[in-house]
Structure 1
């Protein structure tokens, strides 16, 4: 054993030396932009493997439970999601002490606020937690955990190869695109998602790394796991312009459903906060309510792709038969009622899954809601109201999926390409473009911001498309902090101030006490009339001259907040403190100079 350990240590040292030599060689021969192309290949392959493992594990867990009959043993489907969420909560509590970030908003946070840096646990923890949550029946999707995992791997590869922060952001977006592409098998959808949601206005040069990462991850994922999620076995019905008025109505309904989903999540979150404020414990109530919903409505179990596949291939009757109440109603009305209840309660089931401790995303739930809306509309028209024009349920299901996803995430192009790739419905591009636009417009009228934007704003993140914020927050206060202002003791006299003036090249003087806490400032103009009167040097105390600065900057504030203080006060210099202790001054002109240099670099490299 010692010989093996010594051999491994020697090889580890040799590999590190070779990697350092490679980094030195590449600095001389390969530019950062060229290196990003090569790294995007490795990133795509790595994220593809991770996503494949996630899909395989989730489906393996689901397959272990799939043979459980629904009859009198259906109560097990009440228990499985509860077990999954309890396992995830226990893991997070003991391994991460409860500090576990999840959700698509944290991708934006890592890109916008941390320049592509993510905590190390994001590279593996979401795979485990989301596989257990969804595999055991949690009513959420796998895409958000995969996107966050891919983005964190992108930031890791950028740090590994010593790339600049701007390239870390690009590779984080490449990892996110690779995650979407791998989990759905939709490379174009992954690229468009990154461009539309994460990296709008990116330079054309960096579309290539996005394409490479998404393609590589899709190839790996398709080789290792099956991706026939939404394939109509009888082919796709043709689009006829006689269906157009009904599709327009479907677009409006999907926009309303997306707004309802977002409203329901907001209302439930506010309710939970009020209950917690009053000291009520809600965890077990949330868990058992989720289990009851799944027991009452079997389509709410898991991601929901089996339900969508059943609707596309007209096997929805099986779900009505699985429900313990389905045999009490006529088939036509039973199916319609099942779909309506599923449509109304799916947002609640998704919220309960995530808020109670599970790990999942909203992509799959929005597809679920849109598909159910489209199928319900066609089903009611054909079988309940008996319209003279038969509406193709498969087409309405697919277009509804795209419309709701476009409205909820404000990402119409992503929705169009993703549904076309998932189903092979490329000849639906015209109705897809029209209906997603209508759904998007309907949702924007009701709720101007997307779900991702709303969640990102709560944690202080923003869209990287806002170049002003992106450049400002990439400037560190410590990088532009000026320390050449001579401090004056608060307990001193005018003589101490005169000595400071003689030693300083600035016209502003911070006043600090004996412990270094900032008490105020003195400007040269404040004392110009008395500094040439030696008789006053020992008679005038500093405490009589000091006054409060226009504003004080905390060293941990963002540069965006700093510039807001400069704009609000009209000042050109502001003191910086760290827990009240004086650390230096910020100059507005110096910040603007650095901002201009970075803006020029941004335009040259990224457009």
Structure 2
């Protein structure tokens, strides 16, 4: 082997070794951030929500207080920059010059936590994704050897963050592929597999439990027509959610005085929470409740009205939360809407069509289906929801409803909140 070949081989080995090391660090830091944010949000959201149920006056105070704090933090601490969510990641990966600044890590961490804890009807998932993407972006800028791996290292942070909050390494990698990168290179596989392995190892060591403890027994072929119907309805609901978010953001952009946005958003949020406290925060507490009681539920007019009201209002309060300055996205709202949509369909078919479907199954499939249609990522949604329940019994029906919901939504409205841009429709 001549000297030139030896030098090239040594350089490739050094580059490979450095990529492995940086992937380990990104995986650990992103997962650590995700676990802390998830547990802190769950802990404080429970405390604040409990106080709001005891004294409904807090349903007025919490939203305006939380959104005000977020505004002042952005104005005086985080360089007066608004958080654009996942669009920030696209701007970075699509440009050689644009990078995710390091302050995005504390910005999304703190603002995501405050938004949900004080009742904002969204979730921490997008906050975690952007913060962990920034970890990958910062690591990529540390050495020239990593410049060519910008997208790969950003995706490694994202995949590790998703793994940490949903306990599903497959969902983490699939989200990075389906939503962010949309291509797979050897460097992508190496960095992302290492990052999610480290993240999942941390989750295992910390003994993080699945978010929803459910007992799934079986599913029946005779329910397939109802699965198809659920997929179609989920696609329609996801379009409603997407259009609501885009509409509210466009309308709130016209409001030039920031505190008017906060007041209007808080009024919408508070009045909705008075009607349906289930809309508070991520809403996972409400999903856990219906998991426990779904098999004993019978359809009554007040119950049907409540579920329909929740499904209709959720996109509105989510949109108001985000448009008035809250930090978050459509992950948790999609899961929430899907759970209640699945429950409603199961109760209706059992009551009026004697279908004998299993409500828990429809709750889980609804969660995956609406998420799949909202982010146009069916395979991410399958493994993410299976990771949430730590059960793959429903893999095949979830695959069916996720594909149907995605393509139903795309036929009606081809954009997601991540891919939409006003220039695309001109």
Same fold (TM over 0.5): yes
| Number of corresponding residues | 416
Does structure 1 retain, via aligned residues, the 8 Å contact 2:315–2:333?
Answer: yes
Counterparts in 2 of 1:270 and 1:149: CA distance versus 1, 3 Å: closer
**Residues 392-440 of structure 1, C-alpha deviation per residue, up to 9 Å, x if partnerless?**
1110011111111111111011011111121133121211121111111
What does residue range 58-77 of structure 1 map to in structure 2 within 5 Å?
Answer: 58-68=41-51, 70=53, 73-77=55-59
* 1:264 to 2:244 alignment: yes
Show the 5 A alignment for 1:3-22: none
Determine if contact 1:117/1:168 at 8 Å carries over to the other structure.
Answer: no
Q: Identify which of 318, 322, 334 aligns with 1:350.
A: 318
CA distance in 2, matches of 1:187, 1:217: 8
Call closer, same or farther: CA 1:402–1:199 in 2, change over 3 Å: same
Aligned residues of 2:117 and 2:281 also touching (Cα < 8 A):
yes
**Alignment partner, residue 437 of structure 1:** 403
Q: CA deviation at 1:27?
A: 7.9
Return the offset for 1:352: 1.1
Greater strand fraction, Structure 1 or Structure 2: 1
Matches within 5 A, 1:148-227: 148-224=130-206, 226-227=208-209
Task: Identify which of 294, 303, 322 aligns with 2:273.
Answer: 294
1:126 to 108, 112, 127: 108
- Cα distance 1:271–1:125, how it changes in 2: closer, same or farther (>3 A)? closer
Identify the match of residue 449 of structure 1 among 407, 412, 415.
Answer: 415
**1:282–1:450 CA distance, 2 compared to 1 (3 A):** closer
Match of 2:301 in 1: 333
Deviation of 1:166 after TM superposition, in Å, equals 2.2
Cα distance in 1 for residues equivalent to 2:198 and 2:120: 29
The CA distance in 2 between the partners of 1:317 and 1:353, in whole Å, is: 33
- 1:138 maps to 120
Partner of residue 389, structure 1: 355
User: 1-side partners of 2:259 and 2:21: how far apart?
Assistant: 53
Separation in structure 2 between the aligned mates of residue 373 and residue 123 of structure 1, nearest angstrom: 34
TM-aligned CA deviation for residue 63 of structure 1: 3.6
SS in structure 1 of the partner of residue 99 of structure 2: coil
Deviations along 1:132-157, whole A, 9 cap, x unmatched?
Answer: 11122211111111111111111111
Cα distance in 1 for partners of 2:296, 2:423 equals 43
- Structure 2 residues without counterparts, runs of 5 or longer: 1-8
C-alpha separation in 2, matches of 1:282 and 1:89: 10
Cα deviation, residue 109, structure 1: 1.2
User: Which residue among 195, 202, 220 is the counterpart of 1:240?
Assistant: 220
Q: Deviations over 1:197-250 (max 9, x none)?
A: 111221245213212212212332454474431221xx1131100100011000
- Give the superposition deviation at 1:299: 0.9
Q: In the alignment, what sits opposite 1:54?
A: 37
Q: Is the 8 A contact 2:295 2:360 kept in 1?
A: no
Where do 1:391-470 residues align within 5 Å? 391-454=357-420, 457=421
SS of equivalent to 1:451:
coil
Counterpart in the other structure of 1:31 = 14
Q: 1:237 touches 1:395 (CA, 8 Å); kept in 2?
A: no
Distance 2:263 2:222 in 1: 50
TM superposition shift of 1:365: 0.7
CA–CA separation in structure 2 for the residues paired with 1:407 and 1:36:
34
The answer to whether the Cα contact below 8 Å between 1:52 and 1:224 also exists between their aligned partners in 2 is no
The equivalences for 1:93-112 within 5 A come to 93-112=75-94
Higher RCO (CA 8 Å, separation ≥ 6 residues) = 2
| More divergent stretch after superposition (195-204 vs 135-144) | 195-204
Aligned to 1:592: none
Bigger share in helix? 2
Which entry has the higher C-alpha Rg, 1 or 2?
1
Normalising by structure 2, what TM-score? 0.90
Supply the distance in 1 between the matched residues of 2:386 and 2:319 (Cα, whole angstroms): 28
Between 138-147 and 114-123, the greater mean CA deviation after superposition:
114-123
CA-atom RMSD in angstroms: 2.6
Instruction: Tell me, in whole angstroms, the C-alpha distance in 1 between the residues paired with 2:295 and 2:56.
Output: 18
* Preserved contact between residue 216 and residue 393 of structure 2 (Cα < 8 Å): no
